[in-house]
Chain A
Amino acid sequence: MKWYEKIGAGLFEPDRSVSSGEKIFFKFFELFVVVYTIKFSWEWAIYTQLRNVEVVRPLGIANYLDVSLLFHYNLSLILAGLITVLIALCFFRKGPKWLYMVVLVFFHLLHVTRYSQGEIPHSQNLIGMSVFCLAIGTWFFPGKNNMPRFVMGSIIFFIGLGYTSAFFSKLIGTGINWYDGRHLWLWISEKSIDILSREGVYQPNILQQMILGSTGFASLILLFGWLTELIGFTMWWKKIRPYTTTLLIAMHFGITLTMNIRFDAFVMQLVLVGYPWYKIIDRHIKTAPSFVERWI
C-alpha cells in the first residue's frame, strides 16, 4: 500500500461498509452544520446591517467585489435569508446536487462582508470547511454509500492539516523559541485589553496568575499547545484519532482559560468528528429510519 493509500484508508475506511449508526450520525452531524450555518449567517447579517460602515480590510472575494453594497438596503439580511432557505433544501436533498456549492459561495460572501472591518476570525472556519466538504460530497459522491464517508473523511483531513499548518506557521513566523513563556505574557496582556474594552472590567483568573508568576510554567503551557498542533495530522489515522482529538480539545480549553478566546462551535465539532459515535448508535439501532436513508 502506498503512503497516500494508507492516509486514504484511515480517512475513508474502504474495507468497512456504511453502517446504520454511521448514516444516522452523519445526518445528525449535517444538521449540526446546517444549524450553525444559519446561526452564523443571521449573526453576521444583523451585525453588518447595524454596524459596518466602511471596508477596512477586504478578505477573500471582497478583494474583487465592493462588499460595502451589502451594508445597505437590507441586502445582508436578504442574503442570510437565501442561505437559510437553500441550506434547508440541501439538507432534505431537494434541488440540484451542486446547490450546497451555491450556499458556500453565499456563505463566503456574507463572511467577508461581515469581517471587512479588520478582524480575521478563525472560530467559524470549521463550519465553513464542513459546508465546503458537504458541497464537494453532494456534487461528486451522491448516495448513501459514499457521501457520508467522503464528507467526514475530508473534514477530518482538513482539520488535521489545519492544526499542523498552524504549528509550521509559528515555526516560520517566530522560530524555535516560539514557546518562550514571556510571549504568553504579552498575549495575556493583549487579550486583557480586549476584555477590558468589551466588558469594562478585567480580572485575571488563577491559571493566568500562575502563568504571569512563572516564565517556566508559561513556557510549558505554550510547548504543550504547540506540540499538540504539530501532531494534528495524526487524526488522519482512525486508531490514533480519539487520542489526538482529546489533546486538541484540552489545548482549546487551555487557550480559553489563558487568553479568554472561546471556540464553542470548533470544540463541539471536534467532539463530533473525533470519536466513533456511530458504534454506540449501532449497538442500539439495527436499521436506519427510512427518512434518514432518503435524506442522505
Chain B
Amino acid sequence: MKFSEMHRSMKIIGIILIIYAVLVATHEGEFWPFSIYPMFSQAGNPWTRAMVLDVTEADDEAYWHSQTLDNKAGSPVALRNFGVDQIDYSNFMTQTENWTPERRDALRAMFGSHRIGDQHLLAAKVHGEIVGEDSVVVRIEPFLLITADSVYKNPLLDETHYYNEPD
C-alpha cells in the first residue's frame, strides 16, 4: 500500500466513523454491527431475570407466593430442553409491559403446547439486589402459570403488575 492509499484509507475510516456515530447516537447505542458496547456499563443496579419452575406436583396454594433460591416451589426447568433461548425468554418476561391475552399466548407458543404436555410450568421473575454492605439477595416472584392450553396470572398480584395502563 502506498502512502496516498494510506491517506485514502484514513479518510474512508473517518467517513465510516461519522456514519457509525450518527447511527449509534440515533439508535440507543446499537446499529449492528456498530455498537458503543454498553454491556455492563451500569453497575450496582438491581436486576430482574426470569426462570421456569416445574410445579406439576406442587400445592397450588403455595406456589403463587414469593420464594427464594433455597426454598422453591418446584425444580428449575432447563429451557434448553424446550429449545428456548433463556435470554430471549428472560427478556420476553421482563420487557413485556402489557400482558394481553395475545402476549400470554405468545409465551405459551414459545414453549409449544405439545412439549408442555401435562406439566404445570410456573414462569417467574427473579429479582436481585445488593442489601447492606456485603450481601446480594435474590427473590423469585411467581408471575404466570403455563399449561398446554392456558396461561394463568398470579391471583396474589394486582393488575398493575400485568398492565402498564390498566383499564
Given contacts A60-B27, A189-B138, contact A197 B128 (CB under 8 A): no
How far does the alpha carbon of A14 sit from the alpha carbon of B79 in the complex, in Å? 52
Chain B contributes a number of interface residues (CB within 8 A of A) equal to 65
**Chain A nearest CB, measured from B80 CB (Å):** 5
How far does the alpha carbon of A53 sit from the alpha carbon of B27 in the complex, in Å? 23
Q: Which residue of B is nearest A147, CB measured?
A: B1
A-B contact count (CB 8 A): 197
- The stretch among A4-12, A89-97, A244-252, A267-275 that forms the contact with chain B is A4-12
Given contacts A56-B95, A117-B92, contact A14 B87 (CB under 8 A): no
How far does the alpha carbon of A245 sit from the alpha carbon of B52 in the complex, in Å? 40
For window 32-56 of B, CB contacts with A under 8 Å fall at: 32-33, 35-45, 47, 49-52
Q: B49 is contacted by which of A50, A60, A193, A200 (Cβ under 8 Å)?
A: A193
A196–B33 touching, CB < 8 Å? no
> Which residues from B are CB-within-8-Å of A13?
1
Q: B6 is contacted by which of A8, A54, A112 (Cβ under 8 Å)?
A: A8
How far does the alpha carbon of A140 sit from the alpha carbon of B9 in the complex, in Å? 9
A190–B128 touching, CB < 8 Å? yes
Chain A contributes a number of interface residues (CB within 8 A of B) equal to 75
Q: Is A289 an interface residue (CB 8 A)?
A: no
How far does the alpha carbon of A140 sit from the alpha carbon of B78 in the complex, in Å? 49
8 nearest CB pairs, A to B: A118-B91, A128-B33, A173-B41, A200-B78, A183-B43, A166-B37, A169-B41, A117-B88
Pick 20 A–B contacts, CB within 8 A, sort by A: A4-B10, A5-B6, A8-B6, A9-B6, A54-B106, A59-B31, A125-B35, A128-B33, A166-B41, A169-B36, A173-B38, A173-B42, A174-B42, A183-B43, A185-B130, A186-B128, A186-B130, A187-B40, A197-B49, A197-B76
14 more CB-based (< 8 A) A-B contacts, given A150-B9, A180-B43: A59-B27, A119-B85, A149-B9, A154-B12, A162-B35, A174-B41, A182-B44, A186-B45, A186-B47, A194-B49, A194-B86, A194-B90, A197-B49, A197-B79
List residues of chain B with CB under 8 Å of any chain A CB.
1-3, 5-10, 12-13, 16, 27, 29-33, 35-45, 47, 49-52, 75-81, 83-92, 94-96, 103, 106, 109-110, 126, 128-130, 134, 136, 138
List residues of chain A with CB under 8 Å of any chain B CB.
4-5, 7-9, 11-14, 18, 47, 50-51, 53-54, 56-57, 59-60, 63, 108, 111-112, 115, 117-122, 124-129, 131-132, 136, 140-141, 145-146, 149-150, 153-154, 157, 162-163, 165-166, 169-170, 172-174, 178, 180, 182-183, 185-187, 189-190, 193-194, 196-201, 215
